[in-house]
Structure 1
């Protein structure tokens, strides 16, 4: 499966947590909606 992922690694809960932390921060205060795919580029 890793060979099919451009970043050549399996994502972790920490990878998702970093995105959630960003969206919960003031840095993302102007974002009102978004769909983010966290798949290491697999769906490209």
Structure 2
């Protein structure tokens, strides 16, 4: 399960980095990705 979560986070981060133009936006994108993983884990 941990391996799946890590791979999912890496994939989300890679997709978000391509759409993010600022460091502030990057932080928001990472937060949203983490929230999505938490929802999937529950």
TM-score by length of 2: 0.34
Higher relative contact order (CA 8 A, sep 6+): 1
TM-score by length of 1: 0.33
Larger Rg: 1 or 2? Answer: 1
